[in-house]
Chains A and B, each alone.
Chain A
């Protein structure tokens, strides 16, 4: 274990003991890493009272603006103020360059796979890269999407790739989110709140701005218009104001300058989707939907859905509209397919993956299952259909009863479980009320694909709010941090 650090002045870092694993801000010898040197100095000038005051400023700002998220299981109510820790995450230019290339490579390969699967010849399956039965048995695989090509072969227009750093400091992909990844609005609002509360922190860092996302997304979506239509009519489709991510849906529509529609605002006639306006029905070209596949069209999917648009799939099939992200992307971000993504990169791009997966074992394979069950106490077990940390078992933190229950669940339904080596997530100083203490973090960068693939600088850094906890999901009590990609001269 590293030694306690001497406080650099204000006392907030007095006694800071890096957690197990990789500390993003400090070297093992206790000195600040290059990119963090100035930030550590500046935080060192603060005391806990001042940091608490700044935290209140930020919380008030979020509250006033209604920057909230919803916890459905919370009996207290639905909306909570978005939690943000003031100590930012810094990403040096060279490190970001590697992430940028690695994420572009990964999302490009995943788009190739999805287009091959739904609108191509299924070459990767035919060539044995991924087992056919595994793909078609995925809960995210959608037969209704077969034969519907996507403009530019881009089926995943907005991807959120969860990246962690292992104990050796190497980035690894923990999870791909190719359906409706959320969180980008919080990235931008975190920056706005930091700039208001702590503008002095930004001096001498030249962090890349984040307010261009709306323009980037609109340009990406416009490039997805059927037949290359110019000035296409783009809308954002939301389930409505009671959805947990409604704030984000409204934020995105506003920052793109397009309408935020609900299913009841759209109708399909004669194979074309129309928006109901006071002028009558106006044709829609591109729908950035934030409604899950199964709710999109009650004619094709869940008949009880009130959130979708009857006949939408027919319009999609007729080629009069593009739905972004495409239907059926869940086949590629299924956790059981995740172990094959490095092979998909090799298959489609002929390159070695720039960012590795976390070592993962598929439980449908009897040999891997037997080995994993034998040392489940060292591994993380995940149900492939879960999200938001639901159903995840962290072996080293589980008691014998929980391990036994997980073993039984895996044995009963091995297709729907994977196990992974436990990654000791990297940590960052975070304010614990009195001083800065290490907390584990991950990173969700966002990747946009239309005519080309672009990685949005930074991403959403999620942070576990309790010491030692590896759970960073906001729905499970996690928080967030502003994420800065630094210019080379400040890295």
Chain B
């Protein structure tokens, strides 16, 4: 059993964790690439990064982001930017704090420790000359958190919601990156850049063994089954987790179907076929579909209270349908009929 509020919080833990990692990758890339660019080229690169992260409207409110320093501040420590690393780390900490009793202690300690290390920089902001050090610190903490999640957390509904959140956020980023790549004002898609921004360069080389070409990279990022960051891999994992969550009580059925349909369209070639005609509309629709899937999950996790419809679901743990009873028991670990099989590892 998992409280609806906890499910919602852990789903967002997954999203914010993934967002933190994505933003750190973008910052790392920017820190290494922009120094070699002329000012007007740097400006375009900055705009592309902001677009990839889906932060155009927030950036417009934040004012000019023409310089490196402003970009770093915006993406790293601007608390007005919900996508900044500091905002995302703070959100992870707060969501974990509100679910503290059901997550491994080490998970909370790592997230809390990262947040506190950020706070040590004080109100004066994060020094941009220490950017690499800070990014390394965040990357290591994220790896530690992933390690605790993978090796230390029980495979229950809470774990599944974190993974679903991560997979959806990762999918949104990958598709956003491709849309931004296809609409790059510089004219051509930089295949190496796409791979770097998804930490997939090495994997691509191992798989294909030649210099990346744009078409091959797009296919790799969308369809590769050996790449955990490909859209197909993400949707497979999200669907598996949603299936596990729903196995007990029929919860999140619409979300599971939606994820399954998206995955099937990829798997059966519908997306690939449509992209021949024009990739941008197809990817934009995909982007929209992913946002809808996230909204669907939020609605199904915290449904509006409607007594006439939920009355039939009233049950005491151990009573009613075996499935519901088993699912209720799976989280509480209670004896008798409340004990059910733990969710399978996605």
Chain A residues with CB under 8 Å of chain B are: 63-66, 230-231, 233, 236, 240-241, 246, 250-251, 253-254, 257-262, 264-265, 267, 269, 272, 274-283
Q: Is B282 an interface residue (CB 8 A)?
A: no
Contacts of B300 in A (CB 8 A): 278
Q: Least Cβ distance of B197 to chain A in Å?
A: 32
**Residues in B272-322 with C-beta less than 8 Å from chain A:** 300-302, 305, 307, 310-311, 313-318
Q: Assuming the A-B contacts A63-B116, A241-B94, A283-B317, are A278 and B245 also in contact, with contact meaning beta carbons closer than 8 angstroms in the complex? A: yes
How far is A88 from B87 in the complex, measured between Cα atoms in Å?
41
Q: Assuming the A-B contacts A66-B112, A257-B333, are A281 and B5 also in contact, with contact meaning beta carbons closer than 8 angstroms in the complex? A: no
How far is A275 from B305 in the complex, measured between Cα atoms in Å?
12
How far is A66 from B115 in the complex, measured between Cα atoms in Å?
11
B252 engages A278 (CB within 8 Å): yes
How far is A253 from B102 in the complex, measured between Cα atoms in Å?
8
B249 engages A280 (CB within 8 Å): yes
Q: Assuming the A-B contacts A253-B101, A259-B102, A278-B2, are A283 and B112 also in contact, with contact meaning beta carbons closer than 8 angstroms in the complex? A: no
Q: Least Cβ distance of A426 to chain B in Å?
A: 35
9 further A-B pairs in the complex, CB-CB below 8 A; given A251-B101, A278-B301, A280-B324: A230-B336, A250-B100, A258-B332, A260-B102, A265-B4, A274-B314, A275-B3, A279-B327, A282-B328
B3 engages A261 (CB within 8 Å): yes
Secondary structure type dominating chain B contacts: helix
Write 18 A-B pairs (CB below 8 A) sorted by A numbering.
A65-B109, A65-B112, A236-B101, A251-B101, A254-B101, A254-B102, A259-B331, A265-B3, A276-B305, A278-B157, A278-B252, A278-B301, A279-B248, A279-B251, A279-B313, A280-B314, A282-B1, A282-B316
Chain B residues with CB under 8 Å of chain A are: 1-7, 94, 97-98, 100-102, 105, 108-109, 112-113, 116, 157, 245, 248-249, 251-252, 300-302, 305, 307, 310-311, 313-318, 324, 327-328, 331-336, 338
B97 engages A66 (CB within 8 Å): yes
Contacts of A279 in B (CB 8 A): 1, 248-249, 251, 313, 324, 327-328
Residue in A262, A278, A283 whose beta carbon sits within 8 Å of that of B316 in the complex: A283
Q: Least Cβ distance of A52 to chain B in Å?
A: 20
Q: Assuming the A-B contacts A66-B108, A254-B101, A260-B100, are A278 and B7 also in contact, with contact meaning beta carbons closer than 8 angstroms in the complex? A: yes
> Which 4 pairs show the lowest CB-CB distances between chains A and B?
A280-B313, A279-B249, A253-B101, A254-B101
Contacts of B314 in A (CB 8 A): 269, 272, 274, 280-281, 283
Q: Least Cβ distance of A194 to chain B in Å?
A: 18
B98 engages A241 (CB within 8 Å): yes
Specify the chain B residue showing the minimal Cβ separation from A283.
B316
Q: Assuming the A-B contacts A265-B3, A278-B7, are A231 and B102 also in contact, with contact meaning beta carbons closer than 8 angstroms in the complex? A: no
Contacts of A265 in B (CB 8 A): 3-5
Quick one: which of A63, A258, A279, A280 has the most chain B CB within 10 A?
A279
How far is A282 from B332 in the complex, measured between Cα atoms in Å?
12
Contacts of B324 in A (CB 8 A): 279-280
Q: Least Cβ distance of B125 to chain A in Å?
A: 18
A64 engages B116 (CB within 8 Å): yes
B4 engages A233 (CB within 8 Å): no
Q: Least Cβ distance of B4 to chain A in Å?
A: 5
Specify the chain B residue showing the minimal Cβ separation from A235.
B3
Q: Least Cβ distance of B3 to chain A in Å?
A: 5
Q: Least Cβ distance of B117 to chain A in Å?
A: 10
Contacts of A282 in B (CB 8 A): 1, 315-317, 328
Contacts of A272 in B (CB 8 A): 314
B313 engages A64 (CB within 8 Å): no
Contacts of A250 in B (CB 8 A): 97, 100-101
Contacts of B94 in A (CB 8 A): 241
How far is A261 from B99 in the complex, measured between Cα atoms in Å?
9
Contacts of A253 in B (CB 8 A): 101
Quick one: which of A63, A64, A66, A280 has the most chain B CB within 10 A?
A280
Q: Assuming the A-B contacts A64-B116, A279-B249, are A264 and B5 also in contact, with contact meaning beta carbons closer than 8 angstroms in the complex? A: yes
Specify the chain A residue showing the minimal Cβ separation from B314.
A281
How far is A439 from B274 in the complex, measured between Cα atoms in Å?
78
Q: Least Cβ distance of B282 to chain A in Å?
A: 33
Specify the chain B residue showing the minimal Cβ separation from A252.
B101
Q: Least Cβ distance of A31 to chain B in Å?
A: 42
How far is A89 from B226 in the complex, measured between Cα atoms in Å?
59
Q: Least Cβ distance of A64 to chain B in Å?
A: 5
Contacts of A231 in B (CB 8 A): 317-318, 334-336, 338
How far is A230 from B336 in the complex, measured between Cα atoms in Å?
10
Contacts of B315 in A (CB 8 A): 280, 282-283
Q: Least Cβ distance of A279 to chain B in Å?
A: 3
A65 engages B105 (CB within 8 Å): yes
Specify the chain B residue showing the minimal Cβ separation from A222.
B334
Q: Assuming the A-B contacts A261-B3, A281-B310, A282-B315, are A233 and B332 also in contact, with contact meaning beta carbons closer than 8 angstroms in the complex? A: yes
Q: Least Cβ distance of B300 to chain A in Å?
A: 8
Contacts of B336 in A (CB 8 A): 230-231
Q: Least Cβ distance of A61 to chain B in Å?
A: 10
B338 engages A277 (CB within 8 Å): no
A280 engages B97 (CB within 8 Å): no
